[in-house]
Chains A and B, each alone.
Chain A
């Protein structure tokens, strides 16, 4: 018997946004009387962290602390339309809509501040701690809380903004497939190191190395969560998962988490990842969508590593011990 080790590679790209466009999302933003900005959306956070990253985008655009932002979402009576959370579109579409809304609100904020400070709005800047200040002056400044109170009670202004992002819907030329399917593309290269038990066909993934180009990691810890969770799902798809283990035969479909096989905490590989950033011109601060793609590259990387380890080419997913062992048996010839 032997444990055979191998390394495999895969490089991929992934489109951001609904295929062919036509998937708008809106955002509304307004300041409360004490200078908290409430973002109203109908977008859904599946756990990927949308509500956190769009608040970061709003804070960046407004020039205010992150703590000044609240997100109120996913109520169709109170939030404007969002196409939904799918197609790696949430951060990109909703982020852009929020930035557009926050820009409009920032303009009003600076206009009111200019009136309060009796200066030109073009000469004002935000300092990131909550103050709007005159460029080059320590004295001429006003805190957003005071400003918001003044806007409402004194100037009769709403510090608010509207945002929408829409990539216009487009079609496909049916004869040629000519189309404009995406807003931008993120990229990844994964290297897998596996060990194959040549007596049982069991594959263990020892290491996954990932390089991801994401445009901009708005929150690097949360981008890492996507890479890490996706790498696990990709490994799970590669080695374990299916609702029809004997596809296309329908029998023996798993019905619970005992039968539906996924790697557990004892089965996870060492993971090493790094980001590159090539900001997308149409992305929120350059960000591209990476929510979906992180499960993709590990699958062929593992297939290729298995071949490298033992010479068995897996053409069918998942790469079960049976499929690997049948391949090994075929290579070894009749016993």
Chain B
């Protein structure tokens, strides 16, 4: 046996789990592995339809600017260039991907009309017989920019008088049902601070992170005999992409077909719908197959990253380690367009104040627009950076109180039946047990009282600090 299958410790939750399954819980080989090791797995770019056109994007070289005098003449004269698409060619040029679940407003042009809001904002799309010709033509496009003031810091963006990044929102934040941020209000944190033995406040900051899949985002669109378009895509969400694309194309949904499902790494980056719409327009207007695949540069700098976040956490803590109040101000740097960030910010608010039962919680989670590459979904977004902040905070509190960091967590760990800050009753919790297990794995000794703790009940002594 040469694979890793980490052991399952069945002594935990033994009354709730069973061993009566035949296939589930066993190790079977991956059904896709044979194709991978023989090279027979077909990724979207392994399709090679005849008469394929290559699409390369001319992108903004400015952070925030109006532009005029888009000059395509030299590019169109480049041998092999077939057509150049501009905003006027896109039936519904303005969109936002989450409109499918009722999130608005539309705030992002497929191709820029007269304004660019980040370095790399797409302006026009060159279609050519070869990739080299498309690149060459892109290099020959010129445009006159009139720079607009740009803002890059989330708190500066929210300050009075900051330049407006995205006029479709009118302000530099996403508005949640009339509120300037996603809020959680539970108990009374100010009273908790007033009554606390200790108050700790610290700040945390991350920077944008790229999904960096080895396969870049892309698609190949092939016109079909029945007049429909078949879209070979590495999307993470076939129908989500199909539905968004149909809306942008202003075409019946059944005119499109997505074929995908084999993806060279996603990590959330391939949930944005950024290649299929313009490739479909290109295919419809030329009646030829079209490939639009991001270069590695585009994947690194133009595709949406995990948002940078800034998080302030202020905690009310008793001398025994009980956290009685937690006030969190979160700024999610959405970049120039909303994409999935309004969702991720709400997901962050739902996650706070972390896996701990704290009776007084106050959260303001801001989704902020700045003149940078729009951020979007990435593996755990809303939670990953919050966990960095929350668990750093826990460590600092433990050190400030000279407490064992695991005991501090166990004292505050949420249990079945606890009311979370968002007012859902906790069930199926297991934070206590994973801490106990990890402690055992590294030989971190816990006193008997802590080893006896359970997620299914709260021991009477915990309020007194065990």
Contacts and interface: CB of A to CB of B under 8 A. Distances in A.
Interface of A: 7-15, 19-20, 22, 42-47, 49, 51-52, 55-57, 59-60, 63, 65-66, 71, 73-77, 79, 81-86, 128, 169, 172, 174-182, 184-185, 187-191, 209-213, 215-225, 227-228, 233, 237, 241-245, 247-250, 253-257, 260, 262, 272-281, 285-286, 291-293, 295-297, 299-301, 303-304, 307, 313-318
A19 B347 contact: yes
Interface stretch (B67-75, B82-90, B134-142, B181-189): B181-189
Contacts of A247: 207-208, 308
A77 to B, nearest CB: 5
Nearest to A259: B300
A250 B119 contact: yes
B229 to A, nearest CB: 11
Nearest to A299: B388
Contact of A184 (B7, B12, B428): B428
Interface string B1-38: 00111111110110011000111111111111000000
A187 B384 CA distance: 13
Given A7-B442, A275-B8, 11 more contacts: A14-B380, A43-B238, A44-B235, A44-B261, A172-B177, A181-B351, A188-B434, A295-B384, A300-B389, A316-B205, A318-B207
B176 A278 contact: no
Do most interface residues of chain B lie in helix, strand or loop, or is the interface mixed? loop
30 contacts: A14-B383, A55-B31, A74-B259, A74-B260, A74-B262, A79-B238, A83-B240, A84-B235, A84-B236, A84-B237, A175-B179, A175-B183, A177-B183, A177-B422, A178-B422, A180-B422, A181-B422, A182-B350, A182-B424, A211-B434, A211-B437, A216-B24, A224-B5, A243-B208, A250-B63, A260-B212, A274-B8, A274-B441, A277-B8, A313-B396
B257 interface: yes
B433 A276 contact: yes
B52 interface: no
A194 B69 CA distance: 56
B305 A243 contact: yes
Closest 9 CB pairs of A and B: A74-B261, A84-B237, A177-B184, A300-B391, A181-B350, A211-B437, A189-B438, A247-B207, A213-B430
Contact of B405 (A9, A66, A71, A187): A9
Interface residues of B, number: 131
Contacts of A228: 4
B438 A276 contact: no
B263 A46 contact: yes
A256 B300 CA distance: 7
Interface in B346-377: 346-347, 349-351, 354-355, 363, 370, 372-373, 377
B291 to A, nearest CB: 19
Nearest to B410: A11
Contact of B428 (A191, A257, A280): A280
A45 B26 contact: no
Contacts of A244: 207-208, 308, 372
Interface of B: 3-10, 12-13, 16-17, 21-32, 63, 101, 119, 152-154, 176-179, 182-186, 202-210, 212, 235-240, 242, 256-268, 270-271, 296-297, 300-301, 305, 308, 333, 343, 346-347, 349-351, 354-355, 363, 370, 372-373, 377, 379-380, 382-385, 387-392, 394-396, 399, 405-406, 409, 413-414, 421-424, 426-431, 433-435, 437-438, 441-442, 444, 455
A281 B131 CA distance: 52
Nearest to B152: A248
Contact of A56 (B23, B152, B206, B426): B23
A243 B297 CA distance: 11
Contacts of A314: 392
Contacts of A253: 300-301
Given A11-B431, A191-B441, A52 B202 contact: no
B379 A292 contact: yes
A253 B268 CA distance: 20
Nearest to B150: A250
Contact of B379 (A74, A75, A233): A233
A290 B153 CA distance: 33
B434 A52 contact: no
A187 B424 contact: no
Contact of A187 (B257, B262, B399, B431): B431
Contact of A255 (B13, B296, B379, B387): B296
Nearest to A287: B24
Nearest to A234: B384
Nearest to B236: A85
B102 to A, nearest CB: 9
Given A177-B349, A213-B430, A297-B391, A52 B30 contact: yes
A304 B391 contact: yes
A155 B430 CA distance: 50
A51 B12 contact: no
Contacts of B16: 278-279
A95 B387 CA distance: 28
Contacts of B240: 83-84
B13 A277 contact: yes
A276 B434 contact: yes
